[in-house]
Amino acid sequence: MPTPVSAARQCLTEEAARALDDAVAVARRRGHAQTTSLHAVSALLTLPSSALRDACGRARSSAYSPRLQFRALELSVGVSLDRLPSSKNLEEPPVSNSLMAAIKRSQANQRRHPESFHLHQIHNQQQTASLLKVELKHFILSILDDPIVSRVLGEAGFRSCDIKLAIVHPPVTQASRFSRTRCPPIFLCNLTDSDPGHRSFNFPFSGYEDGDENCRRIGEVLVRKSGKSPLLIGVCATEALRGFIEGVQRGKASLLPAELTGLTVICIDNDISEFVVEGGTKEKMDSKFNEVGRMAEQCSGPGIALSFGELRTLVSDGVSGDRMSFVVSQLKSLLELHSGKLWLIGAAGTYETYFKFLARFPTIEKDWNLHLLPITSSKASIEGLYSKSSLLGSFVPFGGFFPASSNFKNPLSGINQFFSRCHSCNEKCELEVASILKAGSTISVADQHSGHLPSWLQTAEVDTGKGVNSPKNAILNSVQTIDDETRNVKILGLQKKWNEICQRLQHSQPNHKVNIPQAASQVASVEGFRPSADRKESSGEDSSLIETRSEFPSPHIPTNSQTNVPSKQNKFVEISSDAEKVNCQSGLSVKVSKSWQTEIGSPCFPPYANVNLPSDRASSSSVTSVTTDLGLGTIYASTCKAPKSPNLQYHKEQSQYFSGSFSAEFDTVSKSSSQKLVQSSLCSASSFRGQHDPGDLKSLRSVLREKVGWQDEAICTISQAVCRSKSGGGRLRGSNLRGDIWLTFLGPDRIGKKRIALALAEILYGSKESFISINLGSQETGCQTNSIFEHDELDGYDVKFRGKTVTDYLAGELSRKPRSVVFLENVDRADFPAQKSLLQAIHTGKFPDSRGREISINNIIFVTTSTVGKGDKLRQPEKDRLKFSEETVLAAKRCQLQMSIGCVDTDVNHNRGMNVRIAARGPSNPSSVKRRKLLETLDSTNQTFEMAKPAQKPSRSFLDLNLPVEEIEENIDCGDCDSDSSSDSSETLLEDFLVEVDEKVVLKPFNFDALAEKLVEEINLRFKRTFGSEVVLEIEYKVMVQILAAAWLSDWKRVVEDWVEQVLCKVFAEAKQKYHLTSPCVMRLDAFGDLAAEEQTVGVCLPARIILN
Amino acid sequence: MGNILLEALNVRVVGSGEKILVLAHGFGTDQSAWQKILPFFVPYYRVILYDLVCAGSVNPDYFDFQRYTTLDAYVDDLFNILDALGVDRCAYVGHSVSAMIGILAAIKRPDLFSKLILIGASPRFLNDRDYHGGFEQGEIEKVFTAMEANYAAWVQGFAPLSVGADVPTAVREFSRTLFNMRPDISLYVARTVFNSDLRGFLGLVKVPCCIIQTSRDVSVPESVANYLKDHLGGRTTVEMLDTEGHLPHLSAPALLAPKLRRALSR
């Protein structure tokens, strides 16, 4: 819709409005229906003294004569205008969209660069119009952006960018780009002053022309009432001092504040150095001081600055103390005598010099009334800045965006304009623009945008409709990434594109109306966040991805899914294929579809798949969203697989039940509105809960027990809690049941906790894929290199490389896997935002990310762990007795092992057939210095355990990274050292959290000692079988720890025993062959460098081959 | 009229704590760089955020080429802000150029600061006789030439290099803010920064400092962090951050925030 001229005029200043009137007149004359940018150009060119003509004159190429080129321009404009269709004569041809867009653009530009902003501030009492009026110059600049205009100009041999530059750049008569004498902006420091007229600087603006900041600062110190003597300090201090002295001596008045004009500088640095270093006579020095004193007395000007030069001469090594103190005291008395008339000035290259001086004369600061003035750079280098700074010409493309210098426009009109702009409006405008430019600098940026969106975005939003947030965000995001120069163009393009997308969306909406709420609950949790996740991956300018994304928001347009559901069943099938096609076309990334597949493929879906309906019907029921359809194949796959899975039983029961209720529902689906569906699905959901009965409890418990055999009690509690929650004993949200379950595992056994959680994921959601694991404490402790426990599937969240916070990472994962077990380790050490999100999630059933968007967690089981709490008390007293504590094992590294033959140890004691012992390696292990060695004998087996125990660390309130890495590593899993000293508030948060969880489970510590015993015995058996009883095997402590860790981590019980049987025995045999051992000796099994992944035995973090040395 | 300054530099005060924390961004960014760090501190501090006058989010007209020839002018801005807000003591987190500003400010008004946290700080970026700052004069001239020749291209190249770690969002964010700066201002500030040399007076800093250094920073070699530690006059610690790049607050906020908190609480 073209805009009425009167409306457009409102946006323009008087001058610009006149130009617009001319343009309208041109359009009327030619009988055109609309006033376009071309008309404006034509009108602007006809004016004799027009700015555009002037700019063209300066921008034209010198190849042609100016007259010829202008003629060509007029001609090409005329021809272009002739081409426009003429219509019936209108009194005022309305302003075309393109011209209006240009006006809008210039408005935006002007907002961004409100030149003489300060003027406006000063006169802000005159608030009249609320609209920002576009000046002529900005108006012209924007018109030149119009592609038609640039084409026409191009035909005449002009380049619109040249013209723009010419408009931005004032004619060459202006002396320098940077001197702003005509309209000096008020400096920031002055802005703080209460009176705008008064300047807090003692310097007139003209004084800046030399650009020597250092001199200015020296002057500033001198002029202060306290009469401080500046001591310049810094690498460039001497240079700055020299510059100052030279400047003053050459009489550059501008260098100094007005109060100081006529300042005299006397340099006595040479005299001083002669006196103190070369041993000049005292008399000579004395006379010099007297001379200075006389001069000070007679001085008529503001005073004398007495330069003692570089401080270094006074403190250099060869200087005798007497002479130095003579100089110092003389200078002091001079200062006292002529206070107010005399200043000292000096320089020190480094602070060390000054400190040395200070050490000799502790009172010098007071005596000499020193003021330390740090000098950051020298004048010479600053001058270098200026020589280069006329580079603006090289930024042609940005021409339009530079703040235009003020002399182009009529100064009066400029002032008028600022009178008329009201303060609050201006503020708002600034804020608005800034918020666009800032790209989410605040958390609430999305809200802000929805609040006051620029008009063009607002229309875009209306078009996309239904308040679909994500497209808007996507637009904004892309907007943000787009640079200034191309922003407007691209935004327009985007807007267009979005309109198209939107149209298509509306077109394809029937697809999504099939939404069955049950599935929608999943979809809904995805839709809001999927775009955000994608957004992070794709650059905002990538149009294809944006389009893909647009497919997602559509399923959840709420009104649609409830009101008009197509009733014919066969239509479903059609639609589903449609939807599929759409999806393929849109080029969904493989990753996305894959994640959907896995999710749908999980055995928990069989309720749907086992309905035993004809396949097309089944599909129609699950073609609730485009993506579900994609996963169909997998659903069947998973049903096929089901018999093999151990937990088949209760699934079957469930599905049996489901098939009944579901098929009943199904008819409803096909006939009735989705409103009914909500109800039926709800009822089925509740019956689903009821389905979990003692049988499930048993199966759950037995599967868990199989995985983590040593935590029997805990498993009982856990499986009970899970079943209870599933069967309706869960938390309520309002009157609805919530599906999220919250468990907290307390106490030790980190791996046990993890494996229980992982097993839960497998049992309840059918795959390891639905397991999200985050170690909330990992950020504080940092990751050990090459630790056994540094494992991809163990540490899904790699804090180092994601660039996002835990909250956002978790939110992303949750939306990707809406049915899963979330395993959060060290919840007590979570950072504040994460804690807040978790608390909110446990209260409301929705997990908010850092931008406040919420993800449903209805099908999530949260397992949080903490090493603090009840478990601590159990563990603490035992700690010292343990040979292998959990901390030591957790610190295990993947090492290659090496077998070597050692010398015969005299104290080798053959104890009742135990030829295997565990020993600490001595000095070769760097960390053992810090360890105190313990020699202990284990009663039961009489083995010698030469133990290296990590020294008990005093619990520190912080983690000092300046300490060697080793200590930090040892700290990692000590639950007893609270690493956050400001954790008061976080503790209360945590308490709240722990109160809220469904079940707190305390785990027992893993008995490493027993395992170690068992393993050693096993090894002993094998070893003796090979070598007989004469040879002793010494296993390095580190190696034993590694073996224990491997056993702890391994999936099934006998994995380490197998390793001993296969790998270790093999190396025993090899060793026997190689060394032909006869006499008693010691074999050693040592760690030997890092273990590469390919050298590992399958399933264990132990080497597949042991090196024989 | 203090509020005009606050407005011009987009000063924002958020948070509910009693203690005051100033977050000052570095070259090529604006206060939005702290976006991901901010939530960690809002509950415990009154956080003051502002834009340096050179930032792209500040009206370029405020950038006076004759005033901002040295870092002192930026320090004055900081003082003006703090005075306008009536702050008499605060902790200061400064990144890159703001770290330099913080050092200078702490010398001039030591009572104002309870703690300085310097991220990616360097007293001098250029190499000197027995000082390794990371850049040779010749190299830097080339950089300046590249900036002049084609700012957009330079940004495209510089941003990933500076962010270091492979975090596309951070690169995009840094590119955006860097590109928001007017090219001439950007170049001018870069020159100012590279011409600055704070080594001579590091010892005058008496405020306790914490230097946060990433394991690989294209702009600041690790030796610089140690140099700072050795020369800064106050109680100084160096915290190594197990990530790469010059902008850990963009690329690894979850890693940096706890470090900052610990450093602040000490």
Residue B156, amino acid: Q
- pLDDT for A988 equals 66
**pLDDT number for residue A1093:** 67
Counting residues of chain A whose pLDDT is more than 90, the rounded percentage is 0
Q: Residue B172 and residue A395: Cβ atoms within 8 Å?
A: no
Which chain B residues are within 8 Å of A376, Cβ to Cβ? 70-72, 100, 104, 195-198
Q: What is the pLDDT of residues A179-215, one digit of tens each?
A: 333 333 333 333 333 333 333 333 333 333 444 677 8
CA distance A118 to A187: 9
Q: Which residue of B lies nearest to A785 if distances are taken between CA atoms?
A: B242
Residue A894's nearest CA partner among A731, A587, A631, A1104 is A1104
Helix (H, G, I), strand (E, B) or coil at A1078: coil
Residues of A in contact with B257 (CB under 8 A): 779, 805, 831
Q: Do A192 and B44 touch (CB under 8 A)?
A: no
Scanning A483-512 for CB atoms below 8 A from B yields 483-485
Contacts of A987 (CB under 8 A, 6+ apart): A828
* Contact: B200, A374; criterion CB under 8 Å: yes
Q: Which of A195, A254, A377 to mutate to test the interface with B (most CBs of B within 10 A)?
A: A377
Q: Report d(CA A400, CA A414) in Å as an integer.
A: 18
The residue that leads in pLDDT, A117 or A56, is A56
Look up the ipTM and state it.
0.89
Task: Quote the CA–CA distance of A330 and A336 in Å, as a whole number.
Answer: 10
Closest-CA distance of chain A to residue B54, Å? 12
**DSSP-H helix ranges across B24-167:** 71-84, 97-108, 137-149, 151-163
Which residue of A lies nearest to B78 if distances are taken between CA atoms?
A189
Of B30, B53, B254, the CB nearest to A799: B254
User: Which chain B residues touch A802 with a CB distance below 8 Å?
Assistant: 167, 254
Give residue B11's region: left, alpha or beta (phi > 0; psi -120 to 50).
Answer: beta
Say yes or no to pLDDT of A173 above 50.
no
Q: How far is B15 from chain A (nearest CA, A)?
A: 13
- Count Cβ–Cβ pairs < 8 Å, chain A vs chain B: 275
Token representation of residue A780? 């504080």
Could you count the other beta carbons within 10 Å of the beta carbon of residue A508? 17
Contact A379, A214 (CB under 8 A): yes
| Lowest mean per-residue pLDDT among A99-103, A422-426, B152-156 | A422-426
Q: Which residue of B has its CA nearest to A782?
A: B242
Cα–Cα distances in angstroms (integers) from residue A945 to residues A893, A935, A942, in the given order: 20, 6, 9
Q: Which of A457-466, A698-707, A744-753 has the lowest mean pLDDT?
A: A457-466
| Whether the Cβ atoms of residue A714 and residue A745 lie closer than 8 Å to each other | yes
- Mean of the pLDDT values across residues A167-188? 44
Q: CA torsion angle for B158, B162, B165, B170 (degrees, to 10)?
A: -80
* Phi-psi label, residue A1044: left if phi above 0, alpha if psi -120 to 50, beta otherwise: alpha
Whether B10 contacts B33, CB under 8 Å: no
A262 vs B: CB within 8 A: no
Residue A279 predicted with pLDDT over 70: yes
Q: What is the C-alpha separation between A664 and A678, in angstroms, rounded?
A: 14
pLDDT tens digit sequence for A844-854: 888 888 777 88
Strand partners, A304: A264, A342
Distance CA B157, CA A462 (A): 38
Do A236 and B197 make contact, defined as CB atoms within 8 angstroms? yes
Q: Can you tell me the mean pLDDT for A379-383? A: 49
- Using CB atoms and an 8 Å cut-off, which of residues 412-431 of chain A contact chain B? 427, 430
Instruction: Compute chain B's Rg from CA coordinates.
Output: 17
- Mean pLDDT, chain A, rounded, equals 62
**Bridge partners of residue B50, in order along the sequence:** B24
CA distance B185 to B63: 8
Which residues of chain B lie closer than 8 angstroms to A396, CB-CB? none
A540 CA to centre of own chain: 16
| A104 vs A109: CA distance, rounded Å | 9
Looking at residue A986, its pLDDT comes to 55
Interface contact flag, B57 A434, Cβ < 8 Å: yes
For the beta carbon of residue A1018, count every other beta carbon within 10 angstroms: 16
The angle at the Cα of A1082, spanning A1077 to A1084, to the nearest 5 degrees, equals 110
> Which token pair is A651?
């699934």
CB within 8 Å: A189 and B258: no
Rounded distance between C-alpha atoms, residue A417 and residue A135, angstroms: 8
Most confident listed range (A23-32, A282-291, A1084-1093, B10-19): B10-19
CATH of B2-265, one of 3.40.50.1820, 3.30.497.10, 3.40.50.300, 3.30.365.10: 3.40.50.1820
Two tokens at A515? Answer: 């939404």
Looking at residue A804, the DSSP 8-state letter turns out to be: S
Q: What pLDDT is stored for residue A453 in this prediction?
A: 38
CB contact under 8 A, B69 and A382: yes
H or E element at residue A846: strand A846-848
Rounded average pLDDT over A794-799: 47
B247: pLDDT strictly greater than 80: yes
CB nearest to A831's CB, from B60, B169, B258: B258
pLDDT in tens, A1000-1050: 888 888 888 888 888 888 888 888 888 777 788 888 888 888 888 888 877
Contact A980 B258 (CB under 8 A): yes
Q: How far apart, in whole angstroms, are the C-alpha atoms of residue A195 and residue A473?
A: 43
Q: Which one of A168, A191, A958 would you mutate to disrupt binding with B, by most B Cβ within 10 Å of its Cβ?
A: A191
Q: Find the helix or strand (DSSP H, E) in which B248 lies.
A: helix B248-251
A961 → closest Cβ in B66, B80, B239: B239
Q: Which residue does chain A place closest to B61, by CA atoms?
A: A115
A110-133 average pLDDT score: 50
- Would you state the pLDDT for residue A124? 41
Query: Residues B54-74: pLDDT tens digits?
Result: 998 898 888 888 888 889 999
pLDDT of A118 higher than 70? no
Which pLDDT band, with edges at 50, 70 and 90, does A222 fall under? confident
Q: What's the average model confidence in pLDDT over A879-906?
A: 72
DSSP state of B235: -
Q: Which of B100, B165, B202 sits opposite A801 (nearest CB)?
A: B165
The separation between CA A61 and the C-alpha centre of its own chain, rounded to angstroms, equals 48
CB of A868 less than 8 A from some CB of B? no
Q: Is A924 on the interface with B (CB under 8 A)?
A: no
**Chain B residue closest to A829 (CA)?**
B258
Which residues make beta-bridge pairs with A846?
A856
d(CA A685, CA A679): 10
**Between A439 and A830, where is the model more confident?**
A830
Residue A121: list chain B partners with CB under 8 A: 4
Residue A1091 is predicted with a pLDDT of 73
Contact with chain B for residue A960, Cβ under 8 A: yes
Distance CA A235, CA A240 (A): 10
pLDDT score at A978: 37
Strand runs (DSSP E) across A27-104, as ranges? none
The residues of B assigned a catalytic role are: 96, 217, 246
| Beta bridge mates, B69 | none
Inform me whether the C-beta atom of residue A377 falls under 8 Å from chain B C-beta atoms: yes
Q: Please answer yes or no on whether A806 and B203 come within 8 Å at the CB atom.
A: no
CB A1085 within 8 A of CB A1023: no
Q: Taking the model in full, what pTM does it have?
A: 0.55
Residue of A176, A441, A479, A959 to mutate for B, most B C-beta atoms under 10 A: A441
| Chain B residues within 8 A of A392 when measuring between CB atoms | 184
- Residues contacting B130, CB < 8 A, separation 6+: none
Tokens representing B34 are 């702290």
Angle among Cα A1013, A1014, A1016 to the nearest 5 degrees reads 65
Question: Can you give the pLDDT at residue A543?
Answer: 38
pLDDT of residue A719: 85
CB A442 within 8 A of CB A171: no
Report CB contact under 8 Å: B9, A831: no
What chain B residue is nearest to A196 in terms of C-alpha separation? B1
Backbone φ and ψ for A550, nearest 5 degrees, come out as: -60, -20
A396-405, A501-510, B118-127: which has the minimum mean pLDDT?
A396-405
Least confidently predicted of A461-475, B41-55, B105-119, B149-163: A461-475
A169 at B interface, C-beta within 8 A? no
Q: Is the predicted pLDDT of residue B222 greater than 60, yes or no?
A: yes
Q: How far apart are CA A289 and CA A327, in angstroms?
A: 9
Of A209, A484, A803, the CB nearest to B252: A803
- Whether A167 and A408 have beta carbons less than 8 Å apart is answered as yes
Q: Which pLDDT score is estimated for B116?
A: 94
Q: Do A480 and B176 touch (CB under 8 A)?
A: yes
Task: Please determine, for residue A581, whether its predicted confidence score (pLDDT) is greater than 50.
Answer: no
- Residue A912 pLDDT grade (very low, low, confident, very high; cuts 50, 70, 90): low
Q: Which of A944, A971, A945, A973 is nearest to A958 (CA)?
A: A971
Nearest to A389 among B65, B237, B261 (CB): B65
C-alpha count within 13 angstroms, C-beta hemisphere, residue A1081: 14
Buried b (16+ CB within 10 A) or exposed e, A281-298: eeeebeebbeebbebbee
Whether chain B has a CB inside 8 Å of the CB on A396: the answer is no
Question: Rounded to the nearest 5 degrees, what angle is found at the Cα of A35, between the Cα atoms of A33 and A37?
Answer: 140
What integer pLDDT is reported at residue A617 of this predicted model? 37
